Amino acid sequence: MMTDVIIIRHKGETCAKLSGWLKEQGCEVWKQDDEIGLVEASVPVELIPRLEKLPCVSYVRKVFNYATSEPIVIHPDDHL
């Protein structure tokens, strides 16, 4: 399962850092706006709890869930 999310970063953090981490996890980042502190992406549902706990993340809005046939790989040792 995948979910489309809108992520609001904490003030003082950069969207580039968050987007880079998401891409390393195999997520698709559609939009990154440092001016308003927003990142839009498609992420595996299993990644959401880790994403919500990242120090640079203020809020994660889950917009839409859907099934995918691609394998989902999450590396528990990865840290932002």
Closest listed residue to residue 42, CA positions, set 18, 26, 59: 26
For the question of whether the overall pTM of this predicted structure is more than 0.85, the answer is no
**Position 11 confidence tier, pLDDT thresholds 50, 70, 90:** confident
- Phi and psi for 74 in degrees, rounded to 5? -120, 130
For residue 70, the model assigns a pLDDT of: 63
- Tokens, residue 71: 């394998």
Sign of CA dihedral 17, 18, 23, 24: positive
E strand or H helix at 57, and its extent? Answer: strand 57-66
The per-residue pLDDT of the chain, averaged, comes to 87
Is 3.30.200.20 the CATH classification of the domain at 2-66?
no
Instruction: Please tell me the distance from the alpha carbon of residue 55 to that of residue 37, in angstroms, as a whole number.
Output: 14
Q: Which residue has the higher pLDDT, 40 or 26?
A: 40
pLDDT for the residue numbered 58: 95
Query: How does residue 12 score in pLDDT terms, banded at 50, 70 and 90?
Result: confident
pLDDT at residue number 39: 96
